[in-house]
């Protein structure tokens, strides 16, 4: 079972939706270049959906399509200058929000909370079979 968050077209920040930010971020975390086909898995969507999700980013010149080095069918998405700036901008906006959340956690417990959150998320992941097919069988 796939669980998606923030899938609406609603703009998150700077005219970028959450899904779009995810794509920018995945690219950024890999040095600004990512194979289109890698995105299917990362976003848990069909390849046709990936095509369509990437569209607006390319149209707005936040990313560029480049043919992959070793496979002329495959496409790499490359962060443009503008895309990089946008990514940082949105990150700033997001961390602003996170800071707000943090401010509401008693100072002496912040570390504990973040730590516990990590444990919880990893537990769910392991319980759901990580990337392997759903061992998360609810019958």
Partner DNA sequence: ATTTTTGGTTGTGTATTACAACTATAATGA
Partner DNA sequence: TCATTATAGTTGTAATACACAACCAAAAAT
The verdict on 19 binding DNA (CB under 7 A) reads yes
Q: Using CB under 7 A, pick the residue from 13, 26, 33, 53 that binds DNA.
A: 53
- Contact partners, residue 108, CB within 8 Å, separation at least 6: none
**Measured distance CA(83)–CA(56) in Å, rounded:** 12
The verdict on 99 binding DNA (CB under 7 A) reads no
DSSP annotation string for 60-76: TTSEEEEE-SS-SS-EE
Report the residue number, 48 or 131, with the smaller CB distance to DNA.
48
User: What would you measure as the largest C-alpha separation in the chain, in angstroms?
Assistant: 54
The verdict on 46 binding DNA (CB under 7 A) reads yes
| Residue 13 dihedral angles phi and psi, to the nearest 5° | 180, 135
Report the residue number, 55 or 134, with the smaller CB distance to its own copies.
134
Chosen from DNA, its own copies, none, partner binding at 84 (C-beta under 5 to 8 Å by type): none
- Residue 97 CB, shortest distance to its own copies, in Å, is 6
Strands 33-35, 75-79: pairing is antiparallel
- Contact partners, residue 26, CB within 8 Å, separation at least 6: 34, 38, 39, 42
Chosen from DNA, its own copies, none, partner binding at 72 (C-beta under 5 to 8 Å by type): DNA
Strand, coil or helix: 49? helix
The verdict on 74 binding DNA (CB under 7 A) reads yes
| Interface ranges with its own copies (CB under 8 A) | 1-8, 10, 12-14, 93-94, 96-97, 100-106, 109, 112-113, 115-117, 119-120, 122-124, 126-127, 136, 138-139
């Amino acid at each position: 079972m796939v669980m998606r968050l923030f899938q609406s077209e609603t703009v998150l920040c700077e005219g970028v939706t959450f899904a779009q930010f995810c794509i920018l971020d995945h690219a950024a975390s890999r040095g600004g270049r990512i194979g289109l086909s890698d995105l299917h898995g990362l976003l848990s969507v069909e390849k046709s959906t990936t095509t369509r999700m990437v569209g607006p980013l390319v149209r707005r010149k936040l990313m560029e399509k480049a043919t992959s080095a070793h496979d002329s069918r495959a496409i790499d998405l490359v962060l443009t200058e503008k895309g990089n700036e946008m990514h940082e901008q949105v990150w700033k906006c997001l961390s602003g929000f996170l800071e707000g959340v943090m401010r509401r956690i008693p100072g002496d417990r912040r570390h504990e909370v973040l730590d516990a959150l990590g444990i919880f998320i990893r537990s769910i992941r392991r319980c759901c079979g990580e990337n392997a097919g759903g061992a998360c069988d609810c019958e």
